[in-house]
Every structure is written in structure tokens, then in C-alpha cells.
């Protein structure tokens, strides 16, 4: 098992980090699917038991990765297949959205662009819980609407409270059946930045991928089913240095062990709080957030799909 | 009692709306104080009993208005007296901040400039609850720090939840002793826009001043002491039309009754969702929010006052 | 001729302000066209001679108004007919866009929402001048591209320079054949706010509609053909007070002359720098700016129409 | 001479990149000054002749670097010494600001945070050219005001025009005596990001430090004296990989030549458009821009220093 594992939030990249000869890892099942015409690649990592958990450093459960460079594109025609895939896997991981009341929590700091994905997604959601409460079941049926509420709780430095505390309180008060937590992640591969969605039924630890340890957000801690939807928006600087240096040394014929010893000489201190992003990060995070909001909106209401201007 | 009363959220303006000969209103006490050198005028309206409540159309309690055109000024020297006044009255209305755990809720929609005051104030708060939890009483004493947490819950159209539901849940989970709700208000007088702070121990009904009816946020509904801090950022269009028209007709010698009949002919429909603001509203709301944040920060921590760069 | 005329920038509203019995005004021709299915109403005011100029208080030329409440809607299907109409009238007023090099200037202050239309439009333009310079005529033909450049010069309080000085310098240096100046206007009717586009071949005086006097931007001052594209984003407070008061008094049977005497009693000072806007102004100005950018983009390049991701 | 030199825009870092034994470089003079109490370090690199130009890869002239980690701090007391230093060196490089008419150009793209420094600086400038034109010499003398104008011309992808074309036109029309171009730079050392100001009398090539080639902005091209004021806001990803890898290999005893061969194996393609920034880049760029604006304002007007609210 590699030591750099902690630097990615993507189960897929943890799986990829094993040496090539580890074709099989006990307790972990990997399947891939590529829809050529839609330029979407889907990977499913299933961690089945404790051996899998130990090997992967992640809790057992299903991790689905949707990869498409179209995710950051403005063109609406590219977004349809992504929305379709997102709906399909949300349905699967939740055991069906129909009849459920869902709360979407957009984690992260809206003042810090690569961390703002969650709040931005929430900004564009079409929530319905209050409409159904006011206008009743007739509205719900007419528009095939499910109850959706949403919150961007902010980060602890802003609120003085754990996201888990805020969400627990809101869940206690409003009783959703399902919580979807949306968060920005860190990836290892620069090509996956702003081009990948990870869905998992294990929930998430906010900020885990970028070195922070805060309280878990999962079914155990929140008391309701939790699906995490994450998008990598950064690679941390140490990761890119390690990876490029490892590759360069590998090409010169050094062994994995020798490379690890070279990496041991790296000045990690100078890279501590630095992240690698594309220069267009502001625009890309806005675009990908919008794509995800629209895909989520289509899961919870038909009123929205039909382009009706009745949006509140 | 005038019929236009509902269009202001300021108790002071409700009191002013009575005809000049109503020097005294049963159950309502009005006191004014002007600090010439600091260009601050403070007005206190106390509604003592049921007669006062009926006359004023507001619940009994204390309403303190701090007026200063410096509120929207950038210059820091002007802000000190405002911060001092704010602290004094918060201490009074809360029965003392020392030893209390406070939650500040910034109500309103950050995407709608005149409604964004609450979220903007929360953006600049220096919360301490998590620091005290992590570093303990020593830190608290060293910096004369009181526990402060903060949230901008968003508006119902965004979240699908009442602000009261969100706050109730968070209060249940985090147990503050005091809640301060910060919100944008509507005024009747254009000169008070972005130049007035109203503090009251009665709590508020979010959006009440601009025609919406949502659930109350007060000690009864939330279960803890609630102070409302509001700033008028708009005058509604109907109010300015009525007031200017009333004045013009008054100058021509028409009686109050005749004026009311003229007002009855106004096309209210065409003014329904329109508001009057200065053109510099964006900048003014940012500035006044910052002034209020800084004043609030100084109430809850000494670390902050000393310009320490340790802010999280 | 009415005295409130100066408060609207729309030639259409100046024309409407004449009493009903002025069916004809010498030197001014008015024609209307309504496309029911597209919910677009087009009005053309032509000021033919000096009599018309005096009556209207505007220079001779053609003023075309496109009215549609869909202008502020997000739905793209509503935007197509608006784009089509905009292109048609730009072609007419410019004498054909083909083969011309165009500079679009987005006037106004991006920090002041109702004034930010011009800069927002420029933010979303797909400029081509540099691409044609680099890749040559082949590119131009392949994508039916015309040379487009764009600038948001800012306002004098920010730059210390007149917009006319900045534009003159840029025109001198880059030699466009046509300048389109985009600006936010003031309307008299609240229903036209964010729902109307005025095109005119007379150019504009920036800020003229809201009480400022700056230098003209027209063919005479800039030395190239100038088309002004304006959208009313505000009504000034004095206008709405006058209009509603005039109506209410009219319903009570007062004559035009009597109404004017009542209006003479209005406290204009207290309304001086106040404007009436919908509360959703932030979102509406963003949406309408985007609609206009997309319509303009479609006029200057086919690359853009096809949803190609090659945008720089 | 090292091959990675092009990746920094700081003359200081080019000078540092020479091996330790190159104590002296022909035609280049280096002097350092440290004000301990103010935590400011100033370095002056003077390129005197053609040998210096060849060695440094930069045109002859004076390059002054002001380094202070306080540059990104909010506290105003830290900003005074920086403002003082900035004024001193601007006076020196310009040959005196008194009596000169100055135009400040904020280069860069305001939609891309690390590139937005120039536009942000311009947003907060207190321009005076229009005031002096309107109120005359009396105002100028009363407030020790010099004529200042400012423009944020945008980037070529937005405008379709070179910044040099836009500035040439504006200079021709408004005749300033001095142009200060403000731009975001790339550094090699992560510790200098958002903590360094470089001033030079050679002007700049916008974007030169990050791989783009656009037209020069200097006395020769613009026809007036040009001072460039730059702040590094990013390190490019390839630079950090090279530098950390070089260090790690150096510690293992590899020679400079061997290290260069290892670097030759790096996958530069995968790092092409990636940049390394602190996660707090949004806030830091805003803060440093504000600090610079305030420092520049103090150079051109006394009205501003006195906290007068007369700012337009």
C-alpha cells in the first residue's frame, strides 16, 4: 500500500495507486464502463469487507466515479448524459429517490474558489419542500416532485460549529429521509480535476482529502442515509511534485524503493498549504457546480425539467 | 393610527407616524439622546403593555435605534463610537454578554443586495466557539473571549426550510444562551436607509417589513433570549409615493382624511414588488455590514481588538 | 410637451408622454408591430426633422424599441426570437454588419448593479478581432466571422477620464468601422424595466437619462457610425411619485394643469439620488446582459452559434 | 545560466538562480537593505549593460523588490511602512511625481483570481484628473493633488485588442507624462507569493512570466515613461516540481548536471497550464490589491490621506 494514498479523496485513485502486479486486492472489486458516444467513463469500486477497508484506507461501501471532460463545458447538450448518469447512480445508491424527502448539504467555504463547489451547487438548487408544504400533494403529483431542501452550512472557521453539528440539528428538526453531501475533493491526477464526480454511500469526512480532520458525515453520525457527491477541484502541491518526480526517476530506471527514498528528501514544509489548480479555476468551478445543480434539480422535480419559469 | 404603518420595520418610525398632537401614547415611552460630537442620535421606544402593543402594532419590549450617517462611511475613526454604542445596548438588552454563549444568525438572501446584510455580517465575524472548545478556558481568559458561533441560514426559496426551523435545530444541537438575529429592514424615511441600526429584545419576523409573513424568531419560538439587530436598506416604492404625495397635498391645505382618500386612488399593483434604494446600494450594504461585524467582533473577543493576525 | 420628459431615456416613452389628442406630432413617425406568438412588441420612432427634434427633445434618427418580458427569463428558447430581432435591427441601423469591423463599448459602473449592464454584456462577448489577425481570412470565412473587439471603459469617477476620451483613443488606434455602445437606461414605466431594448443610430449621452451630463458618444464625436443599445434598469424615484400621484389625482377629476401645480409641491430634494428597482435586480441584470451578449455573439460569428467549445 | 529562469518575473529570483560561486555577474549590481523593525526587505538589481542583459535575460534598468509578509495582512498599521517604501521608489524611478500627470493601467483578467490584481488595484484608486479639470489648480494645490487617471483594459481574449493598443490610444488622447502598469507576476519561490512588490523602470511584457508573448509596454512602445509594478500571485506547477526535485536530488549528492538530466525526464505536458497557489488566494489578492491601491492613492493626493469622505 502506498504512502501517498491520503492525498486523494477518490477511491478510484487509491485503487490505481497499487502496483501494476496487484491485479486483485482482497475485498475490493473494480469495474469499468465506457460509453464512447457520450464520452463518459464510469468506474465502480466496491469495498466489501475489512480486508478491503484496510487495503484501501476507506470504509466499506460503493464508490462510483463518473469521468467526463465535458463536466466543465458550458454547452448544455454535453450535460444531458452526465445528468442521466448522475440520476441513475443516485437512484441506485439511495435505494430509490421516489417518496423520499431529501436534504442536500453543500459543504465548503464559498469565499475560497476551489472549496466553493458545495455552496455554489446549493445556490442553484430548486428546492421544493416549502412548496409541497404549502400547496400539498396535488402539486407534488402534477410535477412529479419530491421534497427537496438544501443548506450551505459554511466551514468551522466561519461558523464556530462543526458541519456535523449544524446538519444534525437541521435533520432533527426537518426529518429528511436522505442526505446528499456535496463537497470539493482533492485528486491525485491533474486530468481528473473538475472532470470527475465521485458518488458514494459511505458519506464523507469534510476536508479529509486536504489534510483536515473533522467529524464524519455518514449514516452512523447523522442517523439517516448519507450519499456523498464530490468533485476534485485541486491537486495538492506535494502530490504533483511526488508524482512527477517519481515518474522521472522511474524513467531513469530507479526502483520503487529507491524512489521512495528520494521522496523522503522532499521539503514538504514549503508545500504545506499549497494547491495546484488550473488558472481558469473560478470559471470551471462555477460551470461544474451549475451542471451538478441542474442534474440534481432534474432528479427531484419535473416542473424544473420543462423549463417552466415558475421557479421561486 | 395610520394605515401605512406596516411599511416600516422601525418602531421609531411607527411612533413618528402618529399625528403631532398625540404627544403621548398610552403604554409607549419615547426617549431621545443626541451625542453631538459623535454625530449619533439614539432613540428608545419602550412598549410597556397591551395598550402600547395595540397602538404600535408591535410586541412589548425595548426598541433602540442608533442613527448616524457615518454608518455607511469607510473611515474607521467614525466607526468607533458606533461600535461603542452597539456594545452598550447589546449588553443592556442581553442582561450582560459575559459568560454567555452567543449564536449570531444573519438572515436574508446574499444574492439580493438590499437583503444581503445578514449574510455579509456573518461573513466577517470572528467566531470563537470552536477555538474555546479546542484550546479551553486558558485561551478564553487570555483574550477575554466569549463563545461566539454564527450561521447564515439562507431564505426559504433557497433552502425549502423556514429560518426558524434551521435555527431551532442548530440551537437544540449547540445550546447557545443568546441568539442575535441580524436582518435587513424596510424604513419609511429615505434618510434612514443604511444610516440606522435598530436593536430590540423582541426578536423579529423575517421579511415582515417588506410584505412577507414567515415564522417568528423570538424567545418564545426559539427557547432562548433573542435580540434582533436590523438595518433598513430599502424604502418600498408605495411608501415613498404615499409620503411625498401626502406632503404635497398637505402643503396645498388638504386635511388628513382627504389625503387618505386621494391615497386610496393609487395604483398599488404597479408598485407591488418595487423598492427604492440609493444607486450606491451595493457599496453601502458592504460597508455597513463590515462596520457591524467589526462592532460585534469587539463584543466577543479581545484578540480581535488588538489587530492580531491570528484570525482563523 | 411634458416637463418630465428628461426622466426617460426611451424615445418611445417621450412619444407616449404627449396628451392623447396629439395623435400626430410634426416630424415624428411612430409605427408599432406585435408578434403575438413570440410575445415581442417592436416600436419604431423616427425623428425626421428639426420640428421633431424640438418636440421630442432628442436628435433626429431612428429609435427602435424591442419589448418582451422574456428578456429577463433564463429559458433559452425564449431568447431566440429576441436575438433574431436584435440582429435584424442592428443590420438595418448599421447598413449591414458584413465586412465591417465592430467595437462594442459596455458603458457603466460594474460595481453598481443597475449600472453594470454594459460591463456585464462585454464580459460575455466572444471577440474575434485578435483571432482574425492571427489566423487570417481563412478562419473568417470558415466561421462567417466578422471582426469584433470590445471594451468596458468604466465610469469617470473610476478612471478620471471621459468615456468619450477613452473610446476616441481606442478607435484612433484600432480603426473599427462601427461602434455599438451598450448602456443601462432609465425608464418612466416600471413595466419596461429589464424588459426592453432600445436601439438607435443617434448614439447616446452616457447617463443622460439619470441626470448626469457627460460628453456625447455619436458619429460626430467619435468619427465612426455609432449605434446605441440600451436597456432601462431603473425608474427614478421622482418619476414614480409623479406618475402615480398624477394618476390618482386624475381619477379624482383634476385637470392636467391642476395636477402640474400639485406636482410643483413635491419634495424633489428627498428623492434626488434614489431609484426604483425590483428587488431581484441583481439576477435580472445578469440574465438580461447574458441574453444580449449571446444575441450579439450570434451577429458576429458562426463559430459561436454552433456551440463549439473553441471559445478563447 | 539556468534554463528555468524564464519561469519567474522577478529579477531578484533570476539573480538568485545563478550558482553560489557566481558572486559577481558582469553588468549586474545587487544591493540589499533590511529594515528589521518594519519587517521589510528591499533588494535592488541594476542591469547596467548588454552583458548584464544577456546574463539576466532582461532589459537594462533598475528592478526594486519590496518583500514583506505583511503585504497580505489586513492590519492597517503594517501597511504604512509598505506605502512609504512604495512612494519612495516610485519617486526615484519616475524622477519625481510632482507636476506629472500619471495614468495607472491595471492589467490582467478580473475573472481569474490570481490574474485579477491589476483590475482590483484600479477598482480602489482615487482618480483626480477629472476633478482637477473641473475645479482647477486651486483644488490641486489645496490637497497637494497630482493628476491621476486609471484604466483596467482587460485581456486580449476579452477585448480582441492588445493591451498595448488600448493604452496607446488612451495615451494619445489624454497625454499622461507617466504610465504605471500594475500586473500579477509569477515567482519561483512560494514564499514570495503575495508577499513581494517588484518595481522597475523597464516596463513589462504582460503575461511574459507565464508563458505568453504579447506586445511590450515600455517607454519605447508607449512613448512615455513606464514603471511596472508587479506582485507574484502564483508559482507555476513545473517550477515547484523542478525546484523541489532539484533540492531532493541535491541532498542525495547529485551534481547540477546530473540533476538537469533528471529534470529532462519530467512530463511537462501534464503541468502545462497548472499553477500553484495558496488556498486563500481569493482573500490574499483582494487584500494585497487594497494595500497597493491605498499606497498609490497616498502618492497622488492629500485629500485621500486625511480620511476625507469626499471621495467620488
- What is the pLDDT averaged over residues D234-254? 90
In sign, the C-alpha dihedral spanning D198, D199, D201, D207 is positive
Share of chain A above pLDDT 90, in %: 60
Please, which residues have CB within 8 angstroms of residue D241's CB and are 6 or more apart in sequence?
A240, A241, A244, A245, D266, D271
Per residue in B77-100, pLDDT (tens digit) is: 778 889 999 999 999 999 999 999
| C-alpha grid cell, residue B194 | 443604511
pLDDT beyond 70 at A206: no
Among all residues of chain A, which has the CA nearest to that of B154? A151
Residue found under cell 458619429: C219
Chain D environment of C112 (Cβ under 8 Å): none
Any idea which of B26-35, B65-74, C196-205, D181-190 has the lowest mean pLDDT? B65-74
- What is the pLDDT averaged over residues C188-196? 92
Measured distance CA(B83)–CA(B229) in Å, rounded: 13
| C-alpha grid cell, residue C163 | 468615456
Any idea which of C108-117, C139-148, D22-31, D150-159 has the lowest mean pLDDT? D22-31
**Which residue did the predictor score with more confidence, B35 or A86?**
A86
Per residue in B188-240, pLDDT (tens digit) is: 998 899 999 999 999 986 544 434 445 789 998 899 999 999 999 999 899 89
Chain C environment of B251 (Cβ under 8 Å): 265
- What is the pLDDT averaged over residues D152-172? 96
| Residue from A75, A195, A287, A312 whose CB has the most chain C CBs within 10 Å, to mutate | A75
DSSP state of B190: G
- What is the pLDDT averaged over residues D196-218? 72
Any idea which of D11-20, D117-126, D287-296 has the lowest mean pLDDT? D11-20
* Burial label, D205 (beta-carbon count in 10 A; 0-12, 13-18, 19+): buried
- Give me the pLDDT at residue A209, please: 40
pLDDT beyond 50 at B308: no
Read off the pLDDT band of C109 (50, 70, 90): very high
Q: Which residues of A touch D (CB under 8 A)?
A: 111-115, 190-191, 210, 234-235, 237, 240-241, 244-245, 247-249, 251-252, 262-263, 265-267, 270-271, 273-283
pLDDT beyond 50 at C66: yes
Other residues' Cβ atoms within 10 Å of the Cβ of residue D5: 16
- Nearest by CB: C172 against D122, D148, D169: D169
Q: What is the pTM of this model?
A: 0.90
- What is the pLDDT averaged over residues B1-8? 50
Smallest CA–CA distance, residue C120 to chain D, in Å, is 12
| CB within 8 Å: D309 and B74 | yes
Read off the pLDDT band of D286 (50, 70, 90): very high
- What is the pLDDT averaged over residues B107-134? 95
Smallest CA–CA distance, residue D195 to chain A, in Å, is 15
DSSP secondary structure, C52-85, as one string: HHHHHTS-SEEEEEEE-GGGG---HHHHHHHHHH
Residue found under cell 423575517: B206
Chain D environment of A236 (Cβ under 8 Å): none
Measured distance CA(B208)–CA(D302) in Å, rounded: 46
pLDDT beyond 80 at D20: no
- What is the b/e burial string over B116-126, where b = at least 16 CB atoms within 10 angstroms of the residue's CB? bbbbbbbbbbb
| CB within 8 Å: C170 and D171 | no
Any idea which of A77-81, A225-229, D183-187 has the lowest mean pLDDT? A77-81
| Residue from C307, C308, C311, C312 whose CB has the most chain A CBs within 10 Å, to mutate | C307
Chain C environment of D122 (Cβ under 8 Å): 154, 158
| CB within 8 Å: D277 and A282 | no
* ipTM rounded to 2 decimals: 0.89
- Give me the pLDDT at residue D289, please: 95
| C-alpha grid cell, residue D95 | 524622477
Share of chain D above pLDDT 90, in %: 60
- Give me the pLDDT at residue C312, please: 34
Contact A15, A51 (CB under 8 A): no
Residue found under cell 492589467: D107
Chain B environment of D309 (Cβ under 8 Å): 73-75
- Give me the pLDDT at residue B36, please: 76
- Give me the pLDDT at residue D311, please: 38
Per residue in D41-67, pLDDT (tens digit) is: 999 999 999 999 999 988 999 999 999
Per residue in C12-65, pLDDT (tens digit) is: 998 888 876 666 888 999 999 988 777 899 999 999 999 999 999 889 999 999
- What is the pLDDT averaged over residues D159-172? 96
- Give me the pLDDT at residue A212, please: 44
- Give me the pLDDT at residue C19, please: 75
Neighbours of chain D (3+ CB pairs under 8 A): A, B, C
| CB within 8 Å: A160 and B166 | no
Measured distance CA(D94)–CA(D203) in Å, rounded: 12
> What is the average pLDDT score of chain D?
87
Run of H or E residues at C278:
strand C274-278
**Which residue did the predictor score with more confidence, D172 or D136?**
D172
Per residue in B135-183, pLDDT (tens digit) is: 988 888 888 999 999 999 999 999 999 999 999 999 999 999 999 999 9
pLDDT beyond 80 at D213: no
Read off the pLDDT band of C5 (50, 70, 90): very low
| CB within 8 Å: B279 and C273 | yes
Contacts 24+ apart (CB under 8 A), D205-214: D206/D107, D206/D108, D206/D155, D206/D163, D206/D181, D208/D9, D209/D6, D209/D7, D209/D8, D209/D9, D209/D185, D210/A279, D210/D186, D210/D234, D210/D236, D210/D275, D211/D236, D214/D156, D214/D162, D214/D163, D214/D164
Listed by start position, the domains of chain D span 98-302
DSSP secondary structure, chain D, as one string: --SGGGG---HHHHHHTS-TT---BTTEEEEEEEEGGGTEEEEEEEE-SHHHHHHHTS-SEEEEEEE-GGGG---HHHHHHHHHHHHHHHHHHHT--TT--EEEEE-S-TTSGGG-HHHHHHHT----HHHHHHHHHHHHHHTT---EEEE----HHHHSS-HHHHHHHHHHHH--SEEEEEEEEEESSGGGTTSEEEEETT-B-TTGGGT-----BSHHHHSSEEEEEEEEEEEEHHHHHHHHHHHHHHHTT--HHHHHHHHTTS-GGGGTTEEEEETTHHHHHHHHHHHHHHHHHHHH-HHHHTT-TT--
CB pairs under 8 A between A and D: 115
pLDDT beyond 50 at A308: no
| Nearest alpha-carbon partner for D7 in D260, D183, D157, D189 | D189
Share of chain B above pLDDT 70, in %: 91
Chain A environment of D236 (Cβ under 8 Å): none
Smallest CA–CA distance, residue A248 to chain D, in Å, is 5
| CB within 8 Å: C157 and D128 | no
Three-state secondary structure string covering C19-44: CCCCCCECCEEEEEEEEHHHCEEEEE
Any idea which of B33-37, D121-125, D190-194 has the lowest mean pLDDT? B33-37
| C-alpha grid cell, residue B281 | 446600494
| Nearest alpha-carbon partner for B203 in B215, B189, B217 | B217
DSSP secondary structure, C102-167, as one string: EEEEE-S-TTSGGG-HHHHHHHT----HHHHHHHHHHHHHHTT---EEEE----HHHHSS-HHHHH
- What is the pLDDT averaged over residues D83-87? 93
Read off the pLDDT band of B20 (50, 70, 90): low
Three-state secondary structure string covering C255-268: CHHHHHHHHCCCCH
Please, which residues have CB within 8 angstroms of residue C2's CB and are 6 or more apart in sequence?
C17, C18
State the architecture of C98-302 in CATH terms: 3-Layer(aba) Sandwich (3.40)
Run of H or E residues at B12:
helix B11-16
Read off the pLDDT band of D18 (50, 70, 90): confident
Contact D259, D208 (CB under 8 A): no
Find how far residue D275's CA is from the centre of its chain.
Answer: 18
pLDDT beyond 70 at D214: no
Amino acid at each position: 500500500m502506498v504512502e501517498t494514498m491520503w492525498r486523494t479523496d477518490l477511491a478510484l485513485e487509491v485503487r490505481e495507486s497499487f502496483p501494476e502486479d496487484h491485479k486483485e486486492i482482497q475485498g475490493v472489486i473494480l469495474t469499468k464502463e465506457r460509453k464512447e458516444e457520450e464520452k463518459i467513463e464510469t468506474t465502480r469500486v466496491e469495498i466489501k469487507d475489512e480486508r478491503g477497508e484496510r487495503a484501501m484506507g476507506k470504509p466499506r461501501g460503493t464508490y462510483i466515479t463518473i469521468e467526463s471532460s465535458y463536466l466543465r463545458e458550458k454547452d448544455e447538450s454535453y450535460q444531458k448524459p452526465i445528468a442521466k448518469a448522475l440520476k441513475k447512480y443516485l437512484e441506485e445508491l439511495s435505494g430509490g429517490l421516489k417518496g423520499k424527502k431529501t436534504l442536500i448539504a453543500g459543504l465548503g467555504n464559498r469565499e475560497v474558489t476551489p472549496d466553493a463547489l458545495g455552496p455554489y451547487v446549493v445556490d442553484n438548487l430548486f428546492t421544493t419542500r416549502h412548496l409541497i408544504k404549502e400547496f400539498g400533494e396535488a402539486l407534488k403529483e402534477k410535477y412529479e416532485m419530491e421534497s427537496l431542501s438544501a443548506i450551505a452550512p459554511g466551514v468551522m472557521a466561519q461558523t464556530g460549529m462543526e458541519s456535523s453539528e449544524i446538519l444534525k440539528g437541521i435533520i432533527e428538526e426537518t426529518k429528511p429521509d436522505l442526505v446528499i453531501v456535496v463537497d470539493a475533493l482533492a485528486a491525485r491526477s491533474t486530468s481528473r480535476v473538475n472532470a470527475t464526480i465521485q458518488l458514494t454511500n459511505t458519506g464523507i469526512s469534510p476536508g479529509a482529502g486536504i489534510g483536515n480532520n473533522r467529524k464524519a458525515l455518514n449514516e452512523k453520525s447523522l442517523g439517516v442515509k448519507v450519499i456523498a457527491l464530490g468533485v476534485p477541484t485541486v491537486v495538492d502541491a506535494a502530490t504533483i511534485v511526488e508524482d512527477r518526480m517519481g515518474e522521472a526517476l522511474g524513467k531513469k530506471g530507479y526502483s520503487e524503493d529507491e524512489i521512495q527514498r528520494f521522496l523522503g528528501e522532499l521539503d514538504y514544509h514549503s508545500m504545506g498549504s499549497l494547491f495546484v489548480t488550473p488558472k481558469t479555476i473560478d470559471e470551471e468551478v462555477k460551470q461544474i457546480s451549475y451542471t451538478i445543480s441542474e442534474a440534481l434539480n432534474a432528479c427531484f422535480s419535473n416542473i424544473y425539467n420543462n423549463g417552466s419559469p415558475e421557479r421561486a
